[in-house]
Structure 1
Amino acid sequence: MSDWIITLEGTEAGHRTALLLALSAALLHAVFGALQKGRFDPWLTRGAVDFWYLLMALPVALFVVPRPEPQLWLIFAGVWLIHTAYKVLQAMAYTRGAYTVVYPVVRGTGPLFAVIGAYLIFGEVFAPLQWLGVATLMTGILGLAAYNLVHVRVNRDTLNAALALAVITGMLVAIYTIYDAYGIRSTPDPFTFLAWFFVIDGLSFPIPAYLRWRAMPQRPEARGLLLRGFIGAIVAFGSFGSVMLATRLDKVGQAAVLRETSPVFAALIGWVFLKETVGPRRLGLMALIAAGAVIVETGG
């Protein structure tokens, strides 16, 4: 598998594969976001997810993939710091504001920062038409957040703090996207980076989440929480793994923008599975997001 990925780098087939990987990451990230919504405290859900993907990735890292090169350990230290900060801020935002408002703001601010970062770090340049696509996509995502903001009826007293945290979290999404792309490009075998990424990233939340669960006067049932964490870990492998492979095969900024079509998939999941009403305005905003992604893909 590693050899096949490497042969695709810099080719037209690699570009098409990166496109499919980025869109798959968008779909799976929407599923991942839906798993963090509702039934359980987001801190507990995140801890359960991290516990499972640490447990599943560790034997692969130790016995399947090649050993990491010495310089990767410093990169992994940065991975732990950046992703831990991202997860803490995201959980803080989710506990202060409605998911339907916070999630689009996080995803809507990320693409702009990611494209700028890809230019500064990797020298990637977007064509003028692609910038129009970024603006179109961000208008749709942030418009969706604004629409939900008007209609939301919960957590109104903490919503301003939630929105501020969501914007900062969006910046961290861009930072980790750029940093992870740098990391996966720093090793000959991309799956070495991916396996150890999930081990390192899985270290931060399980113990704090367990302590939070123990301190609750009414603890949620552990079996259901662990089951949701197990499903979330499987989805996370696909979501984060797909986008990181996409950034190795093709432009980082383009993969980051396409990944942020996830609010479209999130709305579709809400409509089909959660029986949420979509309505013409939300459909129009989702069409803007999709149109922005198409312009970015075709405008280069």
Structure 2
Amino acid sequence: MTEWLLSLEGTEAGHQLALGLALLAALLHAIFGALQKGKHDPWLSRGAIDFHYGLIAAPFALFVVPWPEPHMWPIFAGAFLIHIGYKIMQAQTYVLGDYTVVYPVVRGTGPLFAVIGAGIVFNEHFSAGQWLGVAVLLMGIFGLGVYNLIFLETNRETLKPALLMAAGTGFFVALYTTYDAYGIRATANPFTFLAWFFFIDGLAMPPYAAWRYSRMENKPALRPLMRRGLLGAFVAYFSFGSIMMATRLDSVGEAAVLRETSTVFAALIGWLVLGEKVGPRRLFLMALIALGAVMVEMNG
């Protein structure tokens, strides 16, 4: 399977597969965000998810995939630090704001930074039509921010810091997308990168989550929390794995932008599952973000 995937790099078939993988990552990432934002403390949810995906990845990293080349260890160290920053920002964002308020800003600001980063690191360049798509996407993002500042009635006291944290989280999304795309291209076997990434990345958050849990007066039941963590681990495998394979097969910038159609899935999840009010105007602005992503693909 590895040889077949690598044979598709730079081909039209590879482009189509990357498109499908980016859209799959969009759906799965919206589900992942809802799992972390759900009824449990976001820090505990993230710790449970990371514990499970690190534990499951360990035997594959140690005994199944080829061992990483020596030059990969500094790359893994960099990814570890970047993802810690991302997780801290993301968890605090979910503490401060409603899912349907902060998630579109997180996912929407990421592509702009990712496109710029892909141009610097991978020498990728967007056409005028693609930049128009990015502009439409940003209109949706900033429109959401302005709308929430003016009209949102819930969590007013934490709205501004929530939006600032969401924008900062978007920067980390772009940073890890670009950096990890470099990492998965730096090793001969992409599954080596994925297995070792999850194994190493699963080491940081569980100890903090366990410490946080120990200090809670009203501790949540462990069994539902761990079930959520196990489900989130498998969602993370396919979400992160899909977008990373998409960036290996095709354009990093396009894959990053297409993933942001997740805002539409997030709106539906927030409304149907989390019981958050979305409304037609906010739904329209979220759709603008998705439309901008589609324009980037159509003009590629």
- Report the TM-score, using the length of structure 2 for normalisation: 0.95
Shift of residue 264, structure 1, vs aligned partner: 0.6
CA distance in 1, matches of 2:210, 2:92: 17
How big is each residue's C-alpha offset from its partner over 1:27-51, in whole Å with a ceiling of 9 and x where there is no partner? 0000001111231110000000000
Provide the C-alpha distance between the structure 2 equivalents of 1:91 and 1:272, rounded to a whole number of angstroms. 22
Kept after mapping to 2: 8 A contact 1:43/1:209: yes
How far does the alpha carbon of each residue in 1:71-120 deviate from its partner, in whole angstroms, 9 at most, with x for none? 10110000100000110111122212222222111111111100000001
Q: Give the 3-state SS of the residue equivalent to 2:22 in structure 1.
A: helix
Post-superposition offset of 1:64: 1.1
Relative distance call for 1:146 and 1:30 in structure 2 (3 A) is: farther
In structure 2, distance between residues paired with 1:18 and 1:38: 30
Q: What do the CA deviations read for 1:260-283 (whole angstroms, capped 9, x no partner)?
A: 111111112234444555443234
1:219-266 CA distance string (max 9 Å, x none) = 011111101111111100011110000000000000000011111111
- The alpha carbon displacement at 1:149 in A equals 4.5
In 2, Cα distance between the equivalents of 1:275 and 1:159?
19
Could you tell me which residue of structure 2 aligns to residue 185 of structure 1? 185
- SS, match of residue 37 in structure 2: coil
1:18 counterpart SS class: helix
**Residues 80 and 111 of structure 1: CA distance in aligned 2, closer, same or farther (over 3 Å):** same
Residue in 1 that maps onto 2:45: 45
Q: CA contact under 8 A between 1:57 and 1:199: conserved in structure 2?
A: yes
1:285, CA displacement in angstroms? Answer: 2.2
Asked if 1:259 corresponds to 2:259, the answer is: yes
Instruction: Report the more deviating stretch, 166-175 or 97-106.
Output: 97-106
Matched letter for residue 132 of structure 1: L
- The answer to whether 1:196 aligns with 2:184 is no
- Cα distance in 2 for partners of 1:204, 1:228 equals 18
Greater displacement, 134-143 / 249-258: 134-143
Deviates more, 1:290-299 or 1:214-223: 290-299
Of 286-295 and 114-123, more deviation after overlay is shown by 286-295
Amino acid at match of 1:237: Y
Moved more, 146-155 or 24-33: 146-155
Which digits, 9 at most, give the CA deviation of each residue in 1:95-151, with x for residues without a partner?
A: 122222221111111111000000011100000100001111222244334434444
Match in the other structure for 1:97: 97
Checking the alignment, whether the CA contact within 8 Å between 1:178 and 1:252 is kept in structure 2 is yes
Aligned to 1:224: 224
Q: TM-score, normalised by structure 1?
A: 0.95
* Residues 1:70 and 2:70 are matched in the alignment: yes
More displaced 10-residue stretch of structure 1: 119-128 or 161-170: 161-170
Corresponding residue number in structure 2 for 1:144: 144
Of 125-134 and 86-95, deviating more is 86-95
1:212 — aligned with what? 212
Partner-residue secondary structure (3-state), 1:87: helix
Q: CA deviation at 1:162?
A: 1.9
CA RMSD of aligned residues (A): 1.5
The amino acid that maps onto 1:295 is M
Write the mapping of 1:89-168 to structure 2, written as runs, cut at 5 A. 89-168=89-168
Alignment partners' CA distance in 1, 2:280 and 2:157: 28
Would the aligned equivalents of 1:8 and 1:249 in 2 still touch at CA under 8 Å?
A: yes
Match of 2:233 in 1: 233
Counterparts of 1:14-93 in structure 2 under 5 Å? 14-93=14-93
Matched, 1:245 2:273: no
SS at match of 2:186: coil
The answer as to whether partners of 2:118 and 2:253 remain within 8 angstroms in 1 is yes
Q: What amino acid maps onto 1:181 in structure 2?
A: A
Aligned residues of 2:104 and 2:286 also touching (Cα < 8 A): no
- Residue identity over aligned pairs, in percent, reads 65
Deviates more, 1:82-91 or 1:146-155: 146-155
Asked if structure 2 preserves the Cα contact closer than 8 Å seen for 1:107 and 1:141, the reply is: no
Q: Which amino acid aligns with 2:67?
A: R
Instruction: Measure, in 2, the Cα distance between the counterparts of 1:140 and 1:160.
Output: 18
- Listed as ranges, the gaps of 5+ residues in structure 2 are none
